[in-house]
Structure 1
Amino acid sequence: MIIRKVESRPFTIKLKTPFKNSNIEITKREGLIIKITEEYGNIGYGEVSPLPGLSEESLEDIVPIVKDLERKMTGSELDSDIFQSLKKYPSVEFGVSQALHSIFILRDGLNPKWNMISTISVNGIIGMVSHDDALKRARQLTDEGFQTIKIKVGRDNIEDDIKLVKSISENLNSSINYRLDVNGKWDVDKTIYAVEQFEGINIEYLEQPVSNIEELKELAKISKIPIAADESIRNMDDVKRFLTESNIQYFVIKPSLMGSITETINLLNLIQAAKRRVIISSAFESSIGRSALVFLASLVQNNSAHGLAVASYFSSDIAEDDYPIMNGKISFD
């Protein structure tokens, strides 16, 4: 395939209100939108938007990398080795891969090996906010039809987390499913204590309760509530290690921070073959980046809800959302 032209343009999207977890605060999302045109005029778009506090690379790092790619790829035969040079910059690899993947689908159609589902469940999310605001948000999410709610925890005083989760569960329908995302802020003792306090609450999993990988593996053995890995997963080797060395049942994957779309598909297949569960999770991408996440979520065969409900936090977006969430689900043809 001959690449006729590669272009990029910057974007900035402000959030209506800051989104906080126990480690970072997001007030806006910045990045680049890549546009690739191939020899027959087919066009693909991809998003490059490293997330401060989670991505290893910064926006300042990737701008010259993308500009260099524009020069190297324009007018050239597509070289698969291009991805090897991007391994240090997963957000760039994701954006280029997304754009090319879109072109391949336009040219060749959907891969018949992809067993895509037509309806995706999505979890609502509550950031690190006050008790009253969290309860208000929880009620709003259930009114909007969400059956799974992810709550950011990991406050300085664990009793505040416990009080909040109990309050939300007591005020909502008993059928609601909860996920608690600690972002690595607890230790083993705090996690065990919290698990005891949450007895009787419908908690699907604790996400990254500790930052230490060995402690995470140990908790997966002893916790009565299943453990999910998130920040500890950044590539295929991490996944293989957890599959062979731990009893972790849930893998929270942020594709835009991991790199190649093709490698992410292989990763999803690997996890599902091991009878573990995959959650595709947004890193607050624009509608362009989220479209790739919806595609990846459609390849996951379990019925778990995915973490894609971030559009409502944006004051605007760079394109119309082709995959709106209705009653906690995304449906498409």
Structure 2
Amino acid sequence: MAAGPSLDDLLATAVPFALPLRHPFRGLRVREGVLLEGPEGWGEFAPFDDYPDTAAARWLASAIEAAFRGWPEPCRSDIEVNAIIPAVGADDAARLTREAIADLGCRTIKVKVGSRDLSADEQRVGAIRDVLTAELGPGQGFIRVDANGAWDVRRGEQALRSLAGFGLEYVEQPCATREEMRELRRLVDVRFAADELIRQADGHVTRISEIADVAVLKPAPLGGAAPLLQQAEALDVPVVVSGSLDSSVGLGTALAAAGALPDLPFASGLGTGALFACDLAGPVVPRNGRIRVERIAPDPQALQVAAALVSEERRAFWLQRVADAWAVKG
């Protein structure tokens, strides 16, 4: 394999960017990151601020793969995707679901839950089910809820016994630990998906069927599309490919991974483009519930606008973040 880029190579093309979101998402109002350009195109480095350098190093590996090494060959031309709804009120959830169906053609809705107010979660999910029923028919459309590990076993049982009545495709990462996931799974009749437990593991995970029915894999935290395919092959459950609140450019890595997987039994979690108020290129949003597998280059004017939204302090932060991740990656 040819030698990879040097740190100087990366910093020479690095463009920190900031993209405002339509709604707050997991505490964020603006998504920041860095674009890196190489012979294959552009890669995105955007680990969240609270991620350690060891995790950021994997995100940098993913950006280097995209910009300097390229992606695996796809075996399909487009991907079915879900729409995603933040932890908003019931009225907003209903409106966003109607828009997802009418404008994007999505039939699968992923929604954030796990707030302290269980009744707010119930109202949000119930509003989504009401719209799916009204627009698609009784029992049509899928709802997947994502708790991001917020529940303990007692709270998770209480929440899922209530939310299951709305018909759930699965619950993503209901609890933070394997032990809690295992115990809760015995108590409720809902399919489980594991996300953080895989993403935060040290090395490949092989056995999760004792705690989950589905594995949610995100390429950037795993080091890129090729490492995701290797992780998927090692697992003993089906895989859903998801993004990490990527820009339109960064989403290309997740599309490449989903496009190259031999089996893709569920809609992928790649409908996050609709969350951005503006993007680095024409927004990558579903049409008829699907997104094409393709590489997206930034629009020069859009990138200039997004770069101008980054303060000098944050620009220095991001360039240092690249250097720190490089030092860990080696």
TM-score, normalised to structure 1, is 0.76
1:138 aligned residue (71, 88, 97): 97
Matches of 2:4 and 2:195, distance apart in 1: 35
Q: Give the stretch that moved more between structures: 7-16 or 288-297.
A: 7-16
2:28 is equivalent to residue 32 of structure 1: no
Alignment of 1:95-244 (within 5 A): 95-102=63-70, 111=73, 116-144=75-103, 145-173=105-133, 174-234=139-199, 235=201, 237=203, 239-243=205-209
Amino acid in the other structure paired with 2:35:
I
Kindly tell me: are residues 236 and 255 of structure 1, through their superposed partners in 2, closer, same or farther at Cα, counting changes over 3 Å? Answer: farther
Matches of 1:330 and 1:19, distance apart in 2: 24
1:50 aligned residue (47, 50, 54): 47
Determine the structure 2 residue equivalent to 1:309: 271
1:14 aligned residue (19, 24, 30): 19
Deviation at 1:87, TM superposition (A): 7.1
Query: What do residues 177-234 of structure 1 show as CA deviations (whole Å, max 9, x unaligned)?
Result: 0001111111212222223223443211111111122111222344310111112222
Amino acid in the other structure paired with 2:15:
P
Determine the structure 1 residue equivalent to 2:297: none
Determine the structure 2 residue equivalent to 1:75: none
Matches of 1:315 and 1:161, distance apart in 2: 25
Matches of 2:211 and 2:165, distance apart in 1: 23
Deviation at 1:9, TM superposition (A): 1.9
2:287 aligned residue (323, 326, 332): 326
Aligned residue-pair number: 281
Kindly tell me: are residues 183 and 241 of structure 1, through their superposed partners in 2, closer, same or farther at Cα, counting changes over 3 Å? Answer: same
Amino acid in the other structure paired with 2:260:
L
Instruction: Report if aligned partners of 1:87, 1:259 keep a CA contact under 8 Å in 2.
Output: no
SS in 1 for 2:206: helix
Query: What do residues 11-35 of structure 1 show as CA deviations (whole Å, max 9, x unaligned)?
Result: 3232243332xxx312222222222
Deviation at 1:239, TM superposition (A): 2.3
Deviation at 1:309, TM superposition (A): 1.1
Matches of 2:4 and 2:115, distance apart in 1: 49
Deviation at 1:331, TM superposition (A): 3.4
Instruction: Report if aligned partners of 1:186, 1:210 keep a CA contact under 8 Å in 2.
Output: yes
2:223 is equivalent to residue 259 of structure 1: yes
SS in 1 for 2:106: coil
Instruction: Report if aligned partners of 2:76, 2:259 keep a CA contact under 8 Å in 1.
Output: yes
Query: What do residues 24-82 of structure 1 show as CA deviations (whole Å, max 9, x unaligned)?
Result: 31222222222224xxxxx43211111234x334xxxxxxxxxxxxxxxxxxxxxxxxx
User: Which is richer in strand?
Assistant: 1
Matches of 1:267 and 1:154, distance apart in 2: 27
2:280 is equivalent to residue 280 of structure 1: no
Higher relative contact order (CA 8 A, sep 6+): 2
Q: Which runs of 5+ in 1 are unaligned?
A: 38-42, 58-85
Amino acid in the other structure paired with 1:93:
A
SS in 2 for 1:179: strand
Matches of 1:170 and 1:320, distance apart in 2: 31
Alignment of 1:283-298 (within 5 A): 283-298=244-259
SS in 1 for 2:156: helix
Matches of 2:114 and 2:289, distance apart in 1: 25
2:51 is equivalent to residue 92 of structure 1: no
Matches of 2:181 and 2:86, distance apart in 1: 23
Matches of 2:178 and 2:188, distance apart in 1: 15
Kindly tell me: are residues 258 and 332 of structure 1, through their superposed partners in 2, closer, same or farther at Cα, counting changes over 3 Å? Answer: closer
Amino acid in the other structure paired with 2:92:
D
